[in-house]
Amino acid sequence: LRQNGLQQITTIDSLDKLNQVRVQLLGKKGKLTQALRQMKDLSAQERPQIGALANSIRDDLKAALTQVQEDLELEATQSQLAQEKIDVTLPGRTRHQGHKHVINQVIDDIEALFIGLGYQVINGPEVEEDHYNFEMLNLPKDHPARDMQDTFYITKDILMRTQTSPVQARTMEKHDFNQGPLKMISPGKVYRRDTDDATHSHQFNQIEGLVIDKHITMADLKGTLELLARHIFGAEREIRLRPSYFPFTEPSVEVDISCFACSGAGCRICKQTGWIEVLGAGLVHPNVLTNAGVDPQVYGGFAFGLGPDRFAMLKYGINDIREFYLNDVRFLEQFQGE
Ligand code: FA5
């Protein structure tokens, strides 16, 4: 029995087989168990001898089985380890990591400045009602100044907003002035039927700014814009205010920034004047306040609308606004941000 059993154990080559052999050798129907069952028929003399022999056979077989089991398990672990082996010296697979678009970096930078000055950041819809894009802003239907911004209409009363100024009207209308003054900026995309060229795109970005409080003057506006220009472009930049016209501000100004990054004959963005127009601004027109339910006898304010695309061009010396929208990674990769 012992020899047969040990012989059978040497043929085991898998854990399944091990279980089968274990049952055959030591199970209830195994030969050893049957032999032990016949002990009762033995004489009192033989019983202890045969009993001891059967026990030693069982112990040997058990020990041999345990040994085989350990060997098989070790083998399995080793082969699994060999399969999962990693060669840490192989060069890694680099993943191309994207980053913020340069215009969004400029927008974030401007937002951070104004948040620090206590402004709220408010978003408005890009598909806008004529009512907010024009009428609330003192531009009734047939007003000639509507031609200043050639519009993509969706229906007679719905359009792609041509400016971020409608967010002014929406916010003023809702604001509770008993809670304090209104200070907001609103960044976002705007759309115009402009012919694309080096400084114009039919889709571009604006950031609207609006402050409504008692005793706001042109000096507040100028100080704020100067702070903005210096924050983005550094203390050396100059700004200049030119009288202008917007239906929603009175007086109105256009603000130019001096060109640094490009100058001379090769400078397309500054059209060789040394200045580029980057924003429109002014003191909020009394009609706009009245339309939004704000009393112009008590409150006044300033507003501005700037083009972050043009800010980005100036900041990085980019000569053509279309570069931003061509999605050429070789161009965009140059502006990784922080
Ligand atoms: C306006 O859109 C006014 N809503 C701005 C404003 C707000 C005035 C509040 C007063 C009070 P304007 O059309 O000038 O104004 O555009 C503002 C800025 O957007 C421009 O100074 C320029 O920087 C940018 N901009 C205008 N048209 C384009 C264009 N086609 N492509 C890129 N940037 C443009």
DSSP 233-300: H-TT--EEEEEEEETTEEEEEEEEEE--S--STT-TTTTTTTEEEEEEEEEEPHHHHHHTT--TTT-E
C-beta of 247 in contact with ligand 1 (< 6 A): no
Residue 174 structure tokens:
């809702």
Annotated binding residue 323:
no
C-beta of 167 in contact with ligand 1 (< 6 A): no
Query: Sheet holding 275-284: strands in order across?
Result: 120-121, 182-191, 203-213, 300-306, 275-284, 249-258, 239-246
Q: What is the pTM of this model?
A: 0.73
Crossing angle of helices 15-26 and 2-10, rounded to 10°: 170
Distance 126 CA to ligand 1 centre (A): 15
Distance 277 CA to ligand 1 centre (A): 9
Q: For residues 322 and 331, give the distance between their C-alpha atoms in angstroms, rounded to a whole number.
A: 11
C-beta of 204 in contact with ligand 1 (< 6 A): yes
Give the other-Cβ count within 10 Å of 178's Cβ. 5
Which of 128, 136, 146, 163 to probe ligand 1 with, by most ligand atoms within 8 A of CB?
A: 163
Cα dihedral 323→327→332→337 (10° resolution): 110
pLDDT tens, the chain, 338 aa long: 888 888 888 898 888 999 998 898 888 888 788 878 888 888 888 888 888 888 888 899 899 999 999 999 999 999 999 888 888 898 888 888 889 999 999 999 999 999 999 999 999 999 999 999 999 999 999 888 887 778 999 999 999 999 999 999 999 999 999 999 999 999 999 999 989 998 899 999 999 999 999 999 999 999 999 899 889 888 877 889 999 999 999 999 999 887 765 544 445 556 667 787 889 999 999 999 999 999 999 999 999 999 999 899 888 888 899 999 999 999 999 998 86
Give the other-Cβ count within 10 Å of 10's Cβ. 9
C-beta of 165 in contact with ligand 1 (< 6 A): yes
ipTM (interface pTM): 0.98
Strand runs labelled E in 51-202: 120-121, 127-129, 158-160, 182-191
Cα dihedral 154→305→117→232 (10° resolution): 120
Q: For residues 228 and 280, give the distance between their C-alpha atoms in angstroms, rounded to a whole number.
A: 14
Q: Nearest 5°: phi and psi at 269? A: -70, -35
Nearest-CA residue for atom 21 of ligand 1: 279
The answer to whether 304 touches 280, Cβ cutoff 8 Å, is yes
